[in-house]
Amino acid sequence: MRLPVVMRPVWRPDQRGPVTAGGCPPGGSPVGVRLVEGPARRRRTCHRDAVHSRWSAPWSVTALAVVSVLALFGVLATVPAVGSAAGGRLVATGLQGADAQQAARDQQALDRRLPALWAFVQEERGLTKRRDVPVEVLDDDAYTAALEDGDWPEADDSTATALGQDGAGRAADDSVGFYDDVRKRVFVRADEADLLEQTVVHELTHALQDQWFGFSLSRPWADGEGDRALAYDALVEGDAMRVERAWYASRPAGARAHVDALELERYGAPVSRGSGRYEQDFDADIDFPYVAGRLMVEAVLAKGGQPLLDATFVTPPLSTAQVLHPALVGSGYPPSPPPPSGPGELVDSGTLGELGLALLLGEDPTDPDAPEVGWQGDSYRTYETADETCLYARIEMADADSRDEVVDVVRDLDEDGLRARAEGPASLTLTSCGS
């Protein structure tokens, strides 16, 4: 997975761990998501089981997650993941305790298969590699060391604090592979051959993206602004997920059946064979780049083929709204209303985006049956005082009805420090404080 920076392992939305028939992980315990460039709020990992108003807003604590995958192991996981990596995935279970001997055997087998994997990725993606990329298969300890060896920027948790985020997240142990665009190589954890090859296909796609379009922290859409950063991640991850899905579909029936069996055992469903929406356990804030990103990439390809997809990498989507509504790609970014000011020291500012608002309302924004959120632009500022940290946001909605729905949902959440107030024809101010 690629954070708006350059490096970070990517958590696969489909690799979430065993789930119950009701769609929640055993125990259903809350999992915090740490934010890097943008706000995030604690939320449950299982689906909502109630519906309030026209928006179902019943996640124990909703996630205002403009999780800017900028800390891949910070946002998408909780580790260093932004200084230079793209691509990776999350696993709840897998080949546990792989040792150096197992990794060495897997490396030998992969070396023999690597030319075929590269050939597939190049043909499916429509691009030719410009240079070889080393792929290292590592045991658990070596893989963790490779992750920790990255040059990751420090995350500013001030906005997360304002939104009630505790900074907890997923651990590096959940990642199975990543492309490091600083070291220009792929690192994968030893695993069953068929799953290992899928991981490598995903990461080689990131390497190809890097060679043709470049991953750079200096790019404006990948620097600082959480909503833009997440939109860029959706393009990068969605492209890699599409190629990975194509690889799975191209495999012999026996290999697909083996992958299905492994995924059923590990994740509770044969996710590679599924529709791609991961209905059983979807964490919209974390899974967004993989799920919504793939759907956007497929829409771009259907509209303009390979030339339009490549052009989209040159001029990426500017907001999560464009990812959710691919017809808007290339249409520019909605004007941001001036955010409210607050007391104390200004420590952060940015945009929540349509995804952040949808999550606040308890919606899965990739669900085709979900109601339109009505987001038309927003901006926020975060201030720190001696006693607390507060976020102040102004959000423009499509109409007064959409605005009133948001205000009602926030009121129903009844969260300490979280308030919304209608103002103007179709706008509202949102305040969230934490300590």
Tokens of 135: 């792929």
Helix (H, G, I), strand (E, B) or coil at 135: strand
Are 157 and 383 a contacting pair, CB within 8 Å? no
* Residues found in the chain: 435
Task: Return mean pLDDT, the chain.
Answer: 74
pLDDT in tens, 65-80: 222 222 222 232 233 3
Nearest to 187 by CA among 148, 152, 216: 148
* Integer Cα distance of 325 and 340 in angstroms: 28
Contact assessment for residue 265 and residue 324, using Cβ atoms and an 8 Å cutoff: no
Backbone angles phi, psi at 183, to 5 degrees: -80, -10
Residues near 26 by beta carbon (within 8 Å), at least 6 away in sequence: 18, 20
Task: Please tell me the least confidently modeled range out of 135-144, 249-258, 351-360.
Answer: 351-360
Mean pLDDT of 365-378: 82
Q: Which of 27-41, 144-158, 301-315, 373-387 has the lowest mean pLDDT?
A: 27-41
Tokens 């519906």 belong to 51
For the chain, state the CA radius of gyration: 21
* pLDDT of 159 strictly over 80: no
Average pLDDT of 190-214? Answer: 95
DSSP state of 336: P
CA 245 – CA 212 distance, rounded (Å): 21
Checking if the pLDDT of 157 tops 60, the result is: yes
> Residue 14's pLDDT band (boundaries 50, 70, 90)?
very low
What was the pLDDT predicted at 258? 94
pLDDT at residue 46, rounded to an integer: 26
Instruction: Record the tokens describing residue 148, joined without a space.
Output: 């920790």
pLDDT at 417: 87
pLDDT of residue 283: 60
pLDDT at 16 over 70: no
pLDDT at 181: 87
Mean pLDDT for 352-356 is: 90
- The answer to whether 17 touches 45, Cβ cutoff 8 Å, is no
- Mean pLDDT, rounded, for 121-150: 93
- Higher model confidence: residue 275 or residue 136? 136
Whole-number pLDDT of residue 365: 76
Of 23, 29, 4, 42, residue with least CA distance to 360: 42
pLDDT score at 382: 93
pLDDT score at 65: 23
In the beta sheet, which residues pair with residue 389?
Answer: 384, 434
Instruction: Name the residue with higher pLDDT: 132 or 284.
Output: 132
- Single-letter amino acid code for the residue at 125: R
Rounded to an integer, the average pLDDT of 19-42 is: 27
- One DSSP character per residue, 68-122 reads -TTSTTTSSSSS--SBBEEEEEE-SS-STT--HHHHHHHHHHHHHHHHHHHHHHH
Q: How far is 355 from 282, CA to CA, in rounded Å?
A: 14
The pLDDT of residue 47 is above 60:
no
